[in-house]
Amino acid sequence: MPQTDVSKDFGVGTALWFAVTDADAAHARMVTSGAEVVSPPQPGPFGRVFTVRDPDGYLLTFHQA
């Protein structure tokens, strides 16, 4: 069985989306708490949307609902 380096690309292939009532306010809270912003708030398929990377490398996308 081949060995896989699990530290490489950790979190790739997983999509986590969260609905929030105010994407800009949620983004501001994330920035204040030191989150790594991958994509700032912008118009998206479900309203305003932004993406951050969590400490484990997963991408978390928040959309205004």
pLDDT digits (tens, 9 = 90+) for 10-44: 666 788 999 999 999 999 999 999 999 999 999 98
Domain count, the chain: 1
- pLDDT at 57 (0 to 100): 85
Q: Which helix (H) or strand (E) holds 49?
A: strand 47-53
Give the per-residue pLDDT at 46: 78
Residue 45 lies in a domain: yes
Q: How many CB atoms lie within 10 A of CB 3?
A: 5
Domain holding 48: CATH number?
Answer: 3.30.720.110
Residue 21 lies in a domain: yes
Question: What's the confidence (pLDDT) of residue 26?
Answer: 98
Tell me if 5 is assigned to some domain: no
Under a CB-based contact definition with an 8 Å cutoff, are residues 37 and 52 in contact?
Answer: yes
Structural domain including 27 reads 16-64
53 within domain boundaries:
yes
Tokens for 2, please give them.
């081949």
How many residues are present in the chain? 65
The answer to pTM > 0.85 is: no
